Structure 1
Amino acid sequence: MKAWGSWEWVLAALIVAVYVGFGFAIDGFASPYAIADSTTNMSEKALIAMAMALLIIAGEIDLSIAATMALCSLAMGYAMQAGAGAAGMLAAALGCGMACGAFNGWLVTRWQLPSIVVTIGTLSLYRGLALVLLGDQAITGYPEWLSQWGNGTLGDLLGWPWLIVPIECAVMLAMAVVFVLVQHRTVHGRRIYAIGANSVAARFSGIAVQRYRLLLFTVAGLMAALAAVQLTGRIGSTRPNLALGWELDAITIVILGGVAIEGGRGSIVGVLLAAVLLGGFTFALGMLNVSGMVMTTVVGGLLICVMVLPRARRRAGEGYR
């Protein structure tokens, strides 16, 4: 299956329009430093959106992915307070994410429960655990290496001041290459499409449907953990409301990227382009001092539009037959 299609080219054109349009309207928006800065928040959301895309293509969904981020950040904070080094802190965060994702997958595959119901429950469970354990407190005092990961650039690491690409963006691009290759260039990717298109037929064709579903939920937890490490390093603290509402942003990115909400269709390239588009647009709104509530309203309206428009186009096409 091709990674690029007509919708991906539309998204690419919209990205150009956003950066050119706001570049003329906002002083400094199109500067290299502003563009690099706009990728930080987008990079974290792109990580969880790619994992969400695979789940939705397979006919599942994970609404607990942002709450998992909060729990992973908390695990990393506790590891730091216990005296763990960099490896121990990363292991705590990644292990927590995989455990959360695997638990979601176990509930879905072992007990045959709808993933939307399961992950609504675990959303409350994971976020509630973070609230109970931290309350109104925050964990701070993270080491310099974590702050460097969240706020530094590749130039800082390599000693090249002109290389202003954020480390977060580089990590996201590296993971994007892995996701694109797996989804569009391997038999595993084709099996994920088959599961989403018709899970019963996929099972009869010899595909281990439940095993793939469990793996996809575990990968979603792992990507949530990676995003949590980056976000914690960027803001320098762990709070129970970390990434609050990001599941909505991730779903918006996935659907805007052309992934069919009913499963079986979509591309990781489209999801990445949608993340860049939404990230650039919200960054521009931030430079215009638009409030967070207004941005949330825009994201919610955009989610409704991108779900309704494809169906409206299909119905219009059927009306002309």
Structure 2
Amino acid sequence: MATDTLKRDTGPGTDPGRGAAGRALVRRVLLDNGALSALVVLVAALSLLSGDFLTTQNLLNVGVQAAVTAILAFGVTFVIVSAGIDLSVGSVAALSATVLAWSATSEGLPVWLAVLLAVGTGTACGLVNGALISFGKLPPFIATLAMLSVGRGLALVISQGSPITLPDSVSALGDTLGGWLPVPVIVMVAMGVATAVLLARTYLGRSMYAIGGNEEAARLSGIRVKRQKLVIYALSGGFAAVAGIVLASRLASAQPQAAMGYELDAIAAVVIGGASLSGGVGKASGTLIGALILAVLRNGLNLLSVSAFWQQVVIGVVIALAVLLDTLRRRTA
């Protein structure tokens, strides 16, 4: 009788240890893939609520809407992984696009040279940020906040406060390839692949994780932290320049007031995608998912005719939940 009771108590359906292990596994999977799970649930819910959501044209529109934020966020990923912050990417994007339009029209430079000048402008802004942080010992928040103001001001000075029309060859970046595939989506994917390779396959990427995990330990292990930070912020500025060019191509003009607030969306996408604001954690795929979540939210709420004011409330709640999830993940780790 005692033997029968023991068999019943230790059976596969009543083993408390196995049940606890199963619950722990499910919890771990949800925590590790929370952003992807949220995206899937969000897409499913919006598909049920709106018959127009799950169409090819609308999904391509979501990709286009996510492109600029995602490209900005890829650059910000480098910074956040290394335990920094970059508030200047929106202004740097507007400045770079303005430099492109001004140099190609007013100065008559070839388009390819104007594009290089625009990317160089963004990279230079990032280098200034990195120098202020590494050698000037300014907190990243203050240094990049200053660049936010400087970049926007320079864009207004160069453009005299008015939009500058882009050459047709640059505006083509906002069109489609083959009549259906948006070029901004292609650029977004290309920049995402570049980010993934840099983070996972290069010495620079490993240095970012090391600096974000423990800057002093990284320095003692031989990593030239100051030089790496220069490169990290330069990359963020370069990615911002590409995002600015893509945004300007969609608008067919460079507008000095463009991309206002985009730096917050970029940071939100990185955090929603699973990166930790304390550094040392983050990946390109998570950032892409974070940008898509923001784009899907905005697109779906528009289809449901939700007020733009309430949209801001919803997105703010999503960001707060993402940070709470990050805190919970670090505690369980």
TM-score by length of 1: 0.88
Which blocks of at least 5 consecutive residues in structure 1 are unaligned? Answer: 157-163
**Cα separation, 1, equivalents of 2:152 and 2:140:** 17
Residue 223 of structure 1 and its aligned partner are, at CA, apart by 0.4
User: Aligned residue for 2:162?
Assistant: 137
1:60 equivalent in alignment to 2:58: no
- Equivalent in the alignment of 2:14: none
Aligned match of 1:36: 60
Unaligned stretches of 5+ in structure 2? 1-28
**Partner residue of 2:236 out of 188, 204, 220:** 220
* Equivalent residue, structure 2, for 1:108: 133
Write the distance in 1 (CA, Å) between the matches of 2:221 and 2:330.
Answer: 30
Asked if the contact 1:102/1:215 (under 8 Å) is kept, the reply is yes
1:135–1:78 Cα change, 3 Å = closer
Decide whether the 8 Å contact of 2:87 with 2:145 is kept in 1. yes
Match of 2:176 among 136, 139, 153: 153
Shift of 1:291: 4.1
For residues 177 and 189 of structure 1, the distance between their equivalents in structure 2, rounded to whole angstroms, comes to: 13
Percent identity at matched positions? 33
- In 1, the alpha carbon distance for the partners of 2:74 and 2:276 equals 14
Aligned partner of residue 240 in structure 1, secondary structure: coil
User: Structure 1 residues 314 and 103, CA, compared in 2 at 3 Å: closer, same or farther?
Assistant: closer
* CA distance in structure 2 between the aligned counterparts of 1:288 and 1:50, rounded to whole angstroms: 29
For residues 154 and 239 of structure 1, the distance between their equivalents in structure 2, rounded to whole angstroms, comes to: 25
CA-CA distance at 1:250 after TM superposition = 0.6
Sort the Cα spacing of 1:180 and 1:8 in 2 relative to 1 into closer, same or farther, 3 A. farther
Letter aligned with residue 188 of structure 1: L
Residues 213-253 of structure 1, C-alpha deviation per residue, up to 9 Å, x if partnerless?
Answer: 00010011110110011100001122221000001101111
Count of aligned pairs: 304
- Which residue matches 1:51? 75
In the alignment, the residues of structure 1 paired with residue 143 and residue 295 of structure 2 have an alpha-carbon distance, to the nearest angstrom, of 29
Counterpart residue number, 2:47: 23
From 154, 157, 182, give the equivalent of 2:198: 182
- Alpha-carbon distance between aligned partners in 1 of 2:100 and 2:305, rounded to the nearest angstrom: 33
Measured after TM superposition, the shift of residue 134 of structure 1 is: 3.4
Q: 1:67 to 1:253 in 2, by over 3 A?
A: same
Confirm or deny: 8 A CA contact 2:271 2:277 kept in the other structure. yes
Alpha-carbon spacing, 1:16–1:168, altered in 2? closer, same or farther (3 Å): same
**CA shift at 1:7, angstroms?**
4.3
Q: Residues of 1 paired with 2:260 and 2:242: CA distance?
A: 16
Q: CA RMSD in A?
A: 2.0
> Corresponding residue for 1:118?
143
